[in-house]
Amino acid sequence: MDEALKKSLQWDNQQVETIQQEMIDLGYNICKRFDDYKVSRKIGIDVGVDAEGKLWMIEANTGPGWTLFEKLEDRSIYNRIKAILRECKEKGKASPESRHNE
């Protein structure tokens, strides 16, 4: 994500760190809001950053669709997601659906 923001918006490291922190803060706030209605272990949050550097939430849901990353030629992001899911499952923090298990 760092490189995408730097290249597409010509940002320096500080600007990238700032927007990443905004994304993290937004994620926590969305998760807290979901907890008001339904406890969920997995929440998918789609965000975008416009040309002026404004963060936009596109959607949030309790059924994140990370299998689309499996279709990419470069599977590094998909493999990273799988590793995080395995780690969470081992720690008892998540129970990914069987389609996401190796």
Separation of alpha carbons 57 and 46, rounded Å = 6
Average pLDDT taken over every residue of the chain: 82
Give the pair of three-digit tokens for residue 16.
């990238």
Give percent of the chain above pLDDT 90: 28
Radius of gyration for the chain, computed over Cα atoms and rounded to the nearest angstrom: 15
Q: What is the mean pLDDT of residues 89-95?
A: 65
Q: What is the mean pLDDT of residues 60-76?
A: 84
Return the pLDDT at 15.
93
User: Which residue's entry shows tokens 């990443």?
Assistant: 20
Q: For residue range 15-65, what is the model confidence (pLDDT) as tens digits?
A: 999 999 999 999 999 988 888 887 777 888 999 999 899 999 999 888 777
- Record the pTM: 0.67
Return the pLDDT at 93.
56
DSSP string, the chain: -HHHHHHHH---HHHHHHHHHHHHHHHHHHHHHHHTT---S--EEEEEE-TT--EEEEEEESS--GGGGGGSSSTHHHHHHHHHHHHHHHTTS----GGG--
Return the pLDDT at 3.
85
* Pick from 75, 25, 38: nearest CA to 17: 25
